[in-house]
Amino acid sequence: MIKNSLRLIITVLLSVLIENASAQELHVFVTEAQTADSIPLANAVYKGRKSVYATADSRGEFTIQRIDGETLDISAVGYKVRHLKVNANTPDTVHVTLLADTRKLQEVVVKAKRRTRYVRKNNPAVELMRRVIAAKQRTDLSRHDFYQYDKYQKITMGVNNITPDELEGKLFKNSPWLLDQVEVCQFNNKLVLPFSVDETVTRHLYRKEPKDEKDIVLGQTTKGISKLLQTGKAMNTVVKDLFCDIDLYDDQVDLLQKRFPSPIGSTAISFYHFYIDDTVYVNQDRCIRLQFMPANQQDFGFRGELYVLDDSTLHVKRCDMQLPANTGVNFIDAMKIEQEYTKLGNGDWALTTDNMIAELKMTDLFSRGIVIRTTKMSNYSFDPISDKLLRGKASIVYAPNAKIQDSDFWTQHRTVGLTKSENNMDSFIKRMSKSKHYKLLMFCARALIENFVETGSAETPSKVDLGPVNTLVSRNFVDGLRFRASARTTAKLNPHWFMEGYYAYGTKSHRSYYGATVTYSFNKPEYYPLEWPTRALSFESTSDVMAWSDRFLKHNKDNIFMALRPNSVHQMFFYNRQRLNFTWETNYGLGTSLSVQTESNEPTGELYFKNMAGEYVPKIRMSQVSFAIDFRPGQQFINSKQNRVEVNFDAPRFCLSHDFGLNHFLGGNYNYQHTEFSVYKRFWLGSWGHFDTRLYAGAEWNKVPFPLLIMPRVNTSYFEHQGSFNMMKDMEFLNDRYAQFNLAWDLEGKIFNRIPLIKKLKWREYVAFKGLWGHLTDKNNPTLSRNAADPTLFRFPQSTHVMGSEPYLELVFGVHNIFKMFEIDYVRRLTYTAYPGVKVNGIRFGFNLVF
pLDDT tens-digit series, residues 32-69: 765 667 887 788 888 877 667 788 876 788 888 888 88
pTM, 2 dp: 0.73
Q: What are phi and psi of 172, to 5 degrees?
A: -80, -30
Q: What is the pLDDT of residue 70?
A: 86
C-alpha–C-alpha distance, residues 537 and 518, integer Å: 9
Length of the chain, in residues: 851
Question: Does position 740 have pLDDT exceeding 90, yes or no?
Answer: yes
Q: Do 152 and 414 contact (CB within 8 A), yes or no?
A: yes
Question: Does position 487 have pLDDT exceeding 60, yes or no?
Answer: yes
C-alpha–C-alpha distance, residues 525 and 537, integer Å: 14
Q: Do 291 and 305 contact (CB within 8 A), yes or no?
A: yes
Residue 850 banded pLDDT, cuts 50, 70, 90: confident
Question: Does position 151 have pLDDT exceeding 80, yes or no?
Answer: yes
Residue 31 banded pLDDT, cuts 50, 70, 90: confident
Nearest-5° Cα angle at 827, 825 to 828 = 155
User: Within 13 Å and on the Cβ side, how many CA atoms surround 127?
Assistant: 9
Residue 787 vs residue 168, higher pLDDT: 787
Question: Does position 617 have pLDDT exceeding 80, yes or no?
Answer: yes
Question: Does position 393 have pLDDT exceeding 80, yes or no?
Answer: no
pLDDT digits (tens, 9 = 90+) for 792-844: 999 999 889 999 999 999 999 999 988 878 899 999 999 999 998 889 999 99
pLDDT digits (tens, 9 = 90+) for 538-554: 999 999 999 988 888 77
Burial class (CB in 10 A: 0-12, 13-18, 19+), 140: exposed
Q: What is the pLDDT of residue 703?
A: 96
Query: Which helix (H) or strand (E) covers residue 127, if one does?
Result: helix 124-134
Q: What is the pLDDT of residue 172?
A: 63
C-alpha–C-alpha distance, residues 773 and 697, integer Å: 9
pLDDT digits (tens, 9 = 90+) for 647-693: 777 889 999 999 999 999 999 999 999 999 999 999 988 778 889 99
C-alpha–C-alpha distance, residues 818 and 832, integer Å: 32
Span of 245-259, 304-318, 462-476 with lowest mean pLDDT: 245-259
Residue 405 banded pLDDT, cuts 50, 70, 90: confident
Q: What is the pLDDT of residue 538?
A: 97
CATH of domain 2-98: 2.60.40.1120
Residue 168 banded pLDDT, cuts 50, 70, 90: low
For every residue of 194-224, DSSP letters joined together read: EEEEEEEEEEEEEETTTTEEEEEEEEEEEEE
Max mean pLDDT among 238-247, 274-283, 613-622 falls in 613-622
**How large is the average pLDDT for residues 780-789?**
93
Q: Domain residues of the chain, as ranges?
A: 2-98, 135-256+329-431, 443-847
**How large is the average pLDDT for residues 693-717?**
94
Question: Does position 75 have pLDDT exceeding 50, yes or no?
Answer: yes
C-alpha–C-alpha distance, residues 462 and 68, integer Å: 58
Question: Does position 16 have pLDDT exceeding 60, yes or no?
Answer: no
C-alpha–C-alpha distance, residues 321 and 638, integer Å: 30
C-alpha–C-alpha distance, residues 238 and 446, integer Å: 17
**How large is the average pLDDT for residues 710-727?**
88
Span of 122-131, 227-236, 574-583, 652-661 with lowest mean pLDDT: 227-236
C-alpha–C-alpha distance, residues 213 and 144, integer Å: 13
Average pLDDT, the chain: 83
Residue 734 banded pLDDT, cuts 50, 70, 90: very high
Residue environment code for 523-555, b if the CB has 16+ CB neighbours within 10 A, otherwise e: eebebbbbbbbbbbbbebebbbbbbbbbebbee
Q: Which of 120, 332, 253, 250 is nearest to 687 (CA)?
A: 253
Q: Which residues have C-beta within 8 Å of that of residue 44, sequence separation ≥ 6?
A: 28, 53, 54, 55, 56, 62, 64, 72, 73, 74, 75
DSSP state of 729: P
453-454 and 464-466 as β-strands: parallel, antiparallel, unpaired?
antiparallel
Share of the chain above pLDDT 90, in %: 36
Q: What is the pLDDT of residue 161?
A: 79
Q: What is the pLDDT of residue 814?
A: 92
pLDDT digits (tens, 9 = 90+) for 488-520: 999 989 999 999 999 999 999 999 999 999 999
Which residue type does 571 have?
Q
Max mean pLDDT among 180-189, 279-288, 652-661 falls in 652-661
Q: Which residues have C-beta within 8 Å of that of residue 124, sequence separation ≥ 6?
A: 108, 109, 110, 111, 112, 276
**How large is the average pLDDT for residues 599-620?**
94
Question: Does position 254 have pLDDT exceeding 90, yes or no?
Answer: no
Residue 113 banded pLDDT, cuts 50, 70, 90: very low
Q: What is the pLDDT of residue 611?
A: 93
C-alpha–C-alpha distance, residues 811 and 831, integer Å: 10
Q: What is the pLDDT of residue 851?
A: 65
Residue 231 banded pLDDT, cuts 50, 70, 90: very low
DSSP state of 534: P
- Per the omega criterion (within 30 degrees of 0), is the bond before 210 cis? yes
Residue 389 banded pLDDT, cuts 50, 70, 90: confident
Q: What is the pLDDT of residue 14?
A: 27
**How large is the average pLDDT for residues 374-379?**
92
Torsion angle of the four alpha carbons 215, 228, 484, 849, in this order, in degrees rounded to the nearest 10: -70
Q: What is the pLDDT of residue 261?
A: 86
Q: What is the pLDDT of residue 240?
A: 66
Q: What are phi and psi of 705, to 5 degrees?
A: -70, 165
Q: Do 199 and 153 contact (CB within 8 A), yes or no?
A: yes
Class of domain 443-847: mainly beta
pLDDT digits (tens, 9 = 90+) for 300-341: 788 889 999 988 888 889 999 888 766 667 777 788 889 999
Question: Does position 744 have pLDDT exceeding 90, yes or no?
Answer: yes
Q: What is the pLDDT of residue 640?
A: 65
C-alpha–C-alpha distance, residues 824 and 845, integer Å: 5
Which residue type does 112 have?
A
Q: Do 453 and 447 contact (CB within 8 A), yes or no?
A: yes
Question: Does position 123 have pLDDT exceeding 80, yes or no?
Answer: yes
Question: Does position 790 have pLDDT exceeding 90, yes or no?
Answer: yes
Question: Alpha carbon of 105 to those of 78, 101, 318, 401, 572: distances in Å?
Answer: 14, 12, 19, 55, 77
Helix (H, G, I), strand (E, B) or coil at 4: helix
Q: Which of 727, 773, 772, 731 is nearest to 605 (CA)?
A: 731
Hey, do 2-98 and 443-847 end up sharing a CATH topology, with the first three levels equal?
no
Question: Does position 719 have pLDDT exceeding 60, yes or no?
Answer: yes
Question: Does position 345 have pLDDT exceeding 80, yes or no?
Answer: yes
Residue 561 banded pLDDT, cuts 50, 70, 90: confident
